[in-house]
Amino acid sequence: MSDALIITLVAEGALSPGDVSAASDVVRGVRAQPVAQSWLEAGDAFDILARGDAKTVRAALEEALPAVDIIVQPGTAPRRKRLIVADMDSTMIQCECIDELADYAGIKAEVAAITEAAMRGELDFAGALKARVALLKGLPVATLDQCRAERVRLMPGAQALVRTMVANGARSLLVSGGFMPFAVPVAREIGFARAIANRLDVEADVLAGTVAEPIVDAAVKKALLEADGTPLAAALAVGDGANDIPMIETAAGAGGLGIAYHAKPKTAAAAMAQVRHGDLTVLLRAQGYRRADWAQA
């Protein structure tokens, strides 16, 4: 099947004419037809417009150019998206908050092992979340603020991505299987309009070891993406774990951008494209933004 495609190669400061030439050869080698090509930004990002099968082209390019991020998307959808729905932990920030909280309780290794298995899709998310939260019972609520101040750092490119999209009219939602005391300030710092996450139950200024229902899980993330009202072809969904797969597949299946960011294998396989090397500004390149267009923090 031959579809109109936009193929974007991204390697900030390291994309060479040889990479571009090799990519063109790969596209032709899988019986896709390049229609046009041009530098989005010399040395940083390059666009190839082509006709071909997206999955075949992506797989061939990722194998041939292992040091380059490759975004292959439909050429018929709006390139600049009008909605971003993003995961928080290990996507918009550089850590898993629950693992860092567990470190204050002296049980990081035990909790992190459960987190990793859940993000790989080996455990039920809700059950794994309840099990980890139970281990935090008795932790002072004040530890949440301490953890956020000491451990939470934004992912490089997070502010540029969200603020640029918002400045160009996009709606924005941070949706996390983590916790509201982290999600709300993180969303504010990055520039998201809304944040939705889980709520920890509290008793007498310590964590009760339980999480309020309903739990924000994969189904909730997908439902929030669909309920926004923005056409899904104009949506971008990005995350790294198994609980992000339904929203990523939903965006991609409708012609939008469903992106796996430095993701677990199952998530990368389910996405239409993955960011393997660069930061979140790769998603600006995918939308055709030049550096001069990026919003400043």
Where in the sequence numbering do the catalytic residues fall? 87, 89
Contact 114, 131 (CB under 8 A): yes
Sequence-ordered list of residues with C-beta below 8 angstroms from that of 65, at least 6 positions apart, any chain:
9, 19, 22, 23, 26
DSSP 61-103: HHHH-TTSEEEEEESSS-SS-SEEEE--BTTTBSS-HHHHHHH
3-state secondary structure of 287: coil
Strand positions, DSSP E, the chain: 3-10, 33-41, 45-52, 69-74, 83-86, 171-179, 194-198, 200-203, 206-211, 235-239, 257-261, 273-275
Q: What is the dihedral of CA 144, 196, 241, 208, to 10 degrees?
A: 40
3-state secondary structure of 21: helix
Work out the widest C-alpha separation in the chain, in whole angstroms: 65
Separate counts of helices (H) and strands (E) for the chain: 12, 12
Beta-bridge partners for 257: 236
Work out the angle at residue 207's Cα, subtended by the Cα atoms of residues 113 and 120, and round it to the nearest 5 degrees: 20
